[in-house]
Amino acid sequence: MNKQSIIKIIVFGLLQWFILMISIFVISLIYGIKEGVEMTAPPPLGFAIVAVVMVFVSYALGRWYKPASRKQAIIAGLIWSGMTTVFMLVTVFGNGTQDVFFNGWGVYLIFVAQVIGAMFVSVKKSDIGSSSPTT
């Protein structure tokens, strides 16, 4: 991977994080999350819905990224999932909500969904090498 490819992966990872936060916010509004002493998180089904959204987001950004091989697409998905995990840990530990947020199985689907979405990206033989200029 070259420097431009790594920058694209990081930018798309940040974009996925932004879309994820909006999705979790919307699911929280739908399920009427309680704040305060008895704080609750969206149920696992709510996170599963967010995971489905993230499969499509990861797939769309993976197609926009245009990986050179299936391996590169999976690596991008793993990096995106890793970025989301780190950002999520920083956020929930900063808020003191780690016991509420990571309590159900649904949140873990989000991390897997990013890798699955990237795995669905098909690499066309015509795309391989098309980014390098011909002389």
Write out pLDDT tens, residues 71-95.
999 999 999 999 999 999 998 888 8
Query: Taking the model in full, what pTM does it have?
Result: 0.80
Q: How far apart are CA 54 and CA 61, in angstroms?
A: 10
- Residue 39 backbone zone (phi > 0: left; psi -120 to 50: alpha; other: beta): beta
Write out pLDDT tens, residues 98-130.
887 888 888 899 999 999 999 998 776 654 555
